[in-house]
Amino acid sequence: MSYVTTQDGSQIFYKDWGPAGGAPVLLSHGWPLNSDAWEATASFLAGHGYRAIAHDRRGHGKSTQTWTGNEMDTYADDLNAVLTTLDVTGVTLVGHSTGGGEIVRYVARHGSARVAKMILVSAVPPFMLRTEDNPAGLPIDVFDGIRAGEAANRSQLYRDFADGPFFGHNRTGTVPQGTRDAFWLQGLAAGTHNTYECIAAFSATDFREDLTRVDVPTLIIQGDDDQIVPFDLSGKLSVQLIPDAELIVYEGGAHGLPDTERERLHSDILSFIST
């Protein structure tokens, strides 16, 4: 298996698919998942001649379950270690949900010298938590409830997310059992301490200033029925903060677009990165 070692000695697992000389695309996953969540997209991109790289965030999947560093600055530094170690340049960064925050923080923290484009999919920026200067955000009770579920019975918590709002199964009742089981299984592959601390990372990190520093072509994709990261708090605002960003709204789309809108998402990604 392939790993990159970070500055604190953590091992970050990654997949590197497709032709070595293909234009690189790095895929960053959501909470509490891992790089397996992007397998269909990575396979699609590799099949179209791109080099598809997907890593497991620290504490998730096959990466080291560290006790510390479960926050956005370290996630961004880990991503920098992956790109630097693999000497990746001209990359398109694609981030789903928490992964969207990771790639935005990476550009704000490390610059865009290695980056050609960016795609945010159902991403957590600009800022999810309600504060005095972000009154439209979600109340902390929402995230405390997730933390309580993580602490009490995380297996059930992940079942509830998969069977309910993550894929919009509570709306349609049509999301396949296998898709929902994959979410549950990936969640349990992560460390409970890591996923617990990651809740604060995705909910309480303020990316508003970070978004203004993005200086590469950016595509924002989100469903307007996202029950995890509400569209009005995310894509609708991010497109106003990133210079010259493009927004595509999936009518009725849920949060888990890499699964629920796979063919359309693949088409939109391919169209954006090939022009």
Q: Domains in the chain, please, with CATH?
A: 3-273 (3.40.50.1820)
**Token duo for residue 97:** 């949900």
Kindly tell me the number of DSSP H helices and DSSP E strands found in the chain: 11, 8
Q: Which residues are catalytic?
A: 97, 226, 255
Helix (H, G, I), strand (E, B) or coil at 14: strand
pLDDT in single tens digits along all 275 residues of the chain: 799 999 999 999 999 999 989 999 999 999 999 999 999 999 999 999 999 999 999 999 999 999 999 999 999 999 999 999 999 999 999 999 999 999 999 999 999 999 999 999 999 999 999 999 999 999 999 999 999 999 999 999 999 999 999 999 999 999 999 999 999 999 999 999 999 999 999 999 999 999 999 999 999 999 999 999 999 999 999 999 999 999 999 999 999 999 999 999 999 999 999 99
What is the C-alpha R_g of the chain?
17
Whether this model's pTM surpasses 0.85 = yes
* Model pLDDT, residue 78: 98
Straight-line distance from the first to the last Cα atom of the chain, in angstroms, rounded to the nearest whole number: 33
* Model pLDDT, residue 152: 98
